[in-house]
């Protein structure tokens, strides 16, 4: 019996989600396990999940792909921060709320 890392359901039927990324995914605060394979010099991030949680993951990817990206409009603040590996401009209020 194995527990789904997302919903905590316990049974024998689990799936492994594999993602390869050169970005440090620990910023997401998701309990990834890190796997290495001899044929690829990059690490894989994996999650053991149930079928329902795998379906939710697939739906999230589908939504991401079909949703237009954030606009690159400048707010004029000149304040830039990193958001999940991207550099974005934020207002002074947004900066103060997040970083103090």
- Does residue 46 share a domain with residue 23? yes
Give the pLDDT confidence score for residue 63 in this predicted structure.
97
- Does residue 78 share a domain with residue 45? no
With a pLDDT cut of 70, the percent of the chain lying above it is 100
- Structure-derived torsion over alpha carbons of residues 27, 36, 51, 69, reported in degrees to the nearest 10: 40
- Does residue 2 share a domain with residue 29? yes
pLDDT tier, 53 (very low <50, low <70, confident <90, very high otherwise): very high
Residue range(s) defining the domain that contains residue 2: 1-67
Give the pLDDT confidence score for residue 79 in this predicted structure.
93
Q: Is the pLDDT of residue 71 over 80?
A: no
Q: Give the chain's domain count.
A: 2
Is the Cα dihedral 68, 69, 72, 78 positive or negative? Answer: positive
34 compared with 74, residue with greater pLDDT? 34
Contact criterion met (CB below 8 Å) for 2 and 39:
no
- Mean per-residue pLDDT, 25-31: 89
> Among 39, 37, 50, which Cα is nearest to 4's?
50
- Does residue 86 share a domain with residue 44? no
């Amino acid at each position: 019996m194995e527990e789904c890392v997302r919903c905590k359901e316990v049974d024998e039927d689990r799936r492994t989600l594999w993602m390869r990324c050169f970005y440090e995914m620990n910023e997401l605060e998701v309990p990834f396990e890190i796997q290495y394979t001899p044929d690829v010099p990059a690490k894989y991030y994996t999650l053991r999940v149930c079928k329902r949680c795998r379906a939710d993951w697939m739906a999230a990817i589908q939504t991401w792909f079909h949703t237009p990206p954030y606009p690159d409009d400048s707010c004029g603040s000149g304040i830039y921060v990193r958001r999940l590996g991207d550099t974005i401009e934020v207002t002074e209020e947004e900066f103060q709320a997040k970083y103090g």
